[in-house]
Structure 1
C-alpha cells in the first residue's frame, strides 16, 4: 500500500510540473506587437528619427539646420542649390516643419519638410543629392448646404451653426456691392451651396468655392450664382437670377477697415503739419499689416516711397480712372505689373506723414482728384444676351437646390 501511495504522489507531482511547463510555454508564446506604419509627406516615418517643430520668431534656416547637426558649409550649399524653387530666407514664424534623420549613430539629417500652408509643403533633400520639391497633401472636396439666421451679426450666425468664419468672408465678398453688412437686421436669413476642402478626408482646410447663395435682407432675397463667362481667363464672377453682375467695377474700399478716420475734404487741419489744407483722399484706419487690395483691375504705374506718402502704390485702371494707396508698411507689387480687383498690393502702415496705421485712398477721374463716395461708378459687365440661355440653364438646378434648403428662423 505504501508503494502504491508513493507512486500516486509521484504521478501527481509529474502532472503538476507538466502543467507549470505548459503555463510557462503559453506565457512565452505571446504575439509580437506590430508597429503601426506611419506615412506622411510621401515618407514612411518609421524609417527615420523624426524631429517635429515650429519655426519660432528669429529662427533662420541656418539655425534650424545647425540645431539638427547640419554644418554651415552644407547649409550654404543647400541654400544656393535650391534657392530658385525654395528660398530658405523666407521661412515664416509659426509654420510647422519636420526633419527626418537616419536611424544610425550619427543621426544624419536627410530631409527638411516645410509646411507652406495646410495643403502645400516643400521637401528639401539634404544629402549628397540636394533638391527641393513643392508638393501637395491629398485633398478631398465635400459639398455642403447651410442655412442661417441673423440674431446679432453674420459672424455670430456662423458660429451658432458651428461653421467656419471663412464663410463670413465668402458671403461678405459676394454681396459687398449689394448689402451693407454693418446694417444687417435681426431676422435676416441666408442659404448657401458650397464646397469645403479636407486633408486626408478629415482635416478641414478651407473653402473651395461657393456655387450659389441667397441672402434675404429686409425681406428682399438677393441671389448669387457663380459663373464663368471668360473661358480664357477662367475667372468666375457672381450674377443674380436675372443675369446681372453683383460685382461693381470698383470695390467700396481697399481693405477691411475699422473705421473711416478722415474723409475727402477741401479743408482739414493736418495732424502732422499742423496747418489747414485740403485732404484729397479717404483715410481708412486698420491694424498694421492689414492687406490693402486694388479696388479694380489695372496696371501699377507707381510703386515707390516719398517722405510725405511713405510707401505707396498707384494703379491706372483705364483712360478715365486711377487710384492711389498711401502710407503702407510694405509694398507687394512692382511698376508695370497687372493687378486684378482684390489683389493684395501692400499692407497697412504709418510711413510718411502719418500719425497711426491707416491707408489714404485717393481717386482720380480724368486726371482730377475726386471723392469716390460722390461718384456714380460703373458696375461690372452683365452677362451678354448670347450667353443668357446657357446661364439660365446653369443656374436652374442650383436655384432649385437653394429653394429645397429650409430657411432658419429665430
Structure 2
C-alpha cells in the first residue's frame, strides 16, 4: 500500500474513521463513542478551547478519527474540516493539544479563447472551465453587453486564475484578469484596475481606460432569454393583430426580480388592462424606462430608486401570454429601442492614473489577442 500523508499524519499508521457531522452530533458525543467518558471529554474541551471552539462544528462538515491499529482502537486524533482549505486537529497522542492549519494554495493563470455554443455557462463547461465564472462575467459587463443578445458563434477570450489546494484539489476561479467579448461586431474588453489605491477596490475598464459602468444597465433581468426584440410591427399574441412593439421582452419565471436599469424616481406605479402591473422610472430630463406585466410591484410613486434595485417581480398581468417583462425606453419623450442606443457613461478614469493602467493592461491584452489569433486563425 502506498504511503499516504495528509493533515501532517502518516495515515497508513492508523485505523481511520471518515464521517460527516450529523444532526444532533456534538464534539462530546462523537468522542464518547470512542470509549472516552464525560470527564475526559470535558478535560479535552477545556484544553483546546483557545484554538478550537467545539461548538463551531456544523452539520454536513467532514471529520476524521485516527485510532491505533491494535485491538484497543485508542483515539489518537480528531480532525475537523470546516471547509476545503482549513482544518482543525485535536491531537491526543502525548498530551492534548489543538492546531488550526491551512492547506497550501497554488494559483494558476490560464488564458482561453472560444465561441458561444449554447449559454455562456455551457460554453465554459465545454472548455473545461468552471461555469461559475459566467455570472461573474455577466456582472462585469452588465453595463456594456446585453448577454441575451449574444448569439451562437460570438467569440470571446479571457485570462483568469484558478486555485488549487495542495497542488491537486481544484478550488474554483480566483479572479478574472482580462477578457473580451465580441458584441455588435466590436471587441468589448474588460481589465480590472484600482483607481483608489487606498481601498484597493477594483473597477473594470476597456483598453482605452474608459469605465465599463454606464448610466444604464443593459437589461432589467439576470440570466434569462429574450423572446422578442424591438420592432415597428409584430403580430400581437393576445390581440391577434399586427402592431408596433415598442419594447424588448425578457422571458423569465414568475417571481424573477426585475431591476431598474438606472437610478431615478418612480414616475408611475399601477395597473392598466394592456400593461398589467407596471412601473415607470424617470431618470433625468432626457431618459425614462418602463417595466410591464409584473406579478408584484415593490415600489411606490415618488420613491427614489438606485440602479439595480429590485422594483418588481416578473409576471403575466395585462396582455401577456406568459411570464415576462416588457422593457420600454423613452428619450426626450419619444419611445425608442434601448438595444440600439449609445447611452451615457460614468466618469472617465483620471488622466493621471492612465499611464499606470496602460502599463498593466497592455501585456494582458497582448496575451488575449495572441490566443485569439491562434484559436480563430483561418
TM-score by length of 2: 0.61
Alignment CA distance shift 1:51-1:153 (3 Å): same
How far residue 178 of structure 1 moved from its aligned partner, in angstroms, is: 2.1
Matches within 5 A, 1:185-200: 185-200=151-166
Matches within 5 A, 1:357-396: 382-396=348-362
> 3-state SS of the aligned residue for 1:232?
coil
For the aligned residue pairs, the C-alpha RMSD in angstroms reads: 4.4
Residue matched to 1:227: 193
Q: How far apart, CA to CA, are the structure 1 residues paired with 2:348 and 2:79?
A: 46
Asked if the contact 2:159–2:178 (Cα under 8 Å) also holds between the matched residues in 1, the reply is yes
Asked if the contact 2:109–2:159 (Cα under 8 Å) also holds between the matched residues in 1, the reply is yes
> Which range moved further: 137-146 or 168-177?
168-177
Q: How far apart, CA to CA, are the structure 1 residues paired with 2:28 and 2:220?
A: 41
From the two aligned structures, give the one with the greater helix fraction: 1
Asked if the contact 1:119–1:137 (Cα under 8 Å) also holds between the matched residues in 2, the reply is yes
1:298-343 deviation per Cα after TM superposition (whole angstroms, max 9, x unaligned): xxxxxxxxxxx9xxxxxxxxxx9799999xxxxxxxxxxxxxxxxx
Matches within 5 A, 1:157-168: 157-168=123-134
How far residue 214 of structure 1 moved from its aligned partner, in angstroms, is: 0.6
1:224-282 deviation per Cα after TM superposition (whole angstroms, max 9, x unaligned): 112233333333332211222335799988998975737687447xxxxxxx9x9x9x9
Residue matched to 2:19: 53
> Which range moved further: 134-143 or 394-403?
134-143
1:49-80 deviation per Cα after TM superposition (whole angstroms, max 9, x unaligned): 22222234454333333333343444444445
1:173-225 deviation per Cα after TM superposition (whole angstroms, max 9, x unaligned): 32233223333322222101111122232221211222111111232211111
Q: How far apart, CA to CA, are the structure 2 residues paired with 1:133 and 1:380?
A: 49
Alignment counterpart, residue 398 of structure 1, candidates 333, 346, 364: 364
Q: How far apart, CA to CA, are the structure 2 residues paired with 1:248 and 1:44?
A: 56
Asked if the contact 1:185–1:218 (Cα under 8 Å) also holds between the matched residues in 2, the reply is no
Alignment counterpart, residue 59 of structure 2, candidates 61, 76, 93: 93
Q: How far apart, CA to CA, are the structure 2 residues paired with 1:110 and 1:254?
A: 54
Asked if the contact 1:196–1:205 (Cα under 8 Å) also holds between the matched residues in 2, the reply is yes
How far residue 171 of structure 1 moved from its aligned partner, in angstroms, is: 1.8
Alignment CA distance shift 1:181-1:260 (3 Å): farther
How far residue 129 of structure 1 moved from its aligned partner, in angstroms, is: 4.6
Q: Tell me, which stretches of 5 or more residues in structure 1 are unaligned?
A: 1-34, 269-275, 286-308, 310-319, 327-376
TM-score by length of 1: 0.57
Do residues 119 (structure 1) and 85 (structure 2) align?
A: yes
| Count of aligned residue pairs for this structure pair | 288
Residue matched to 2:284: none
Moved over 4 A (4+): 76-85, 126-131, 247-260, 262-265, 320-326, 377-382
Alignment counterpart, residue 203 of structure 1, candidates 141, 159, 169: 169
1:366-399 deviation per Cα after TM superposition (whole angstroms, max 9, x unaligned): xxxxxxxxxxx99776432211111111111111
Which protein has the larger Cα radius of gyration, Structure 1 or Structure 2? 1
Q: Tell me, which stretches of 5 or more residues in structure 2 are unaligned?
A: 225-251, 259-265, 272-276, 282-290, 299-304, 312-342
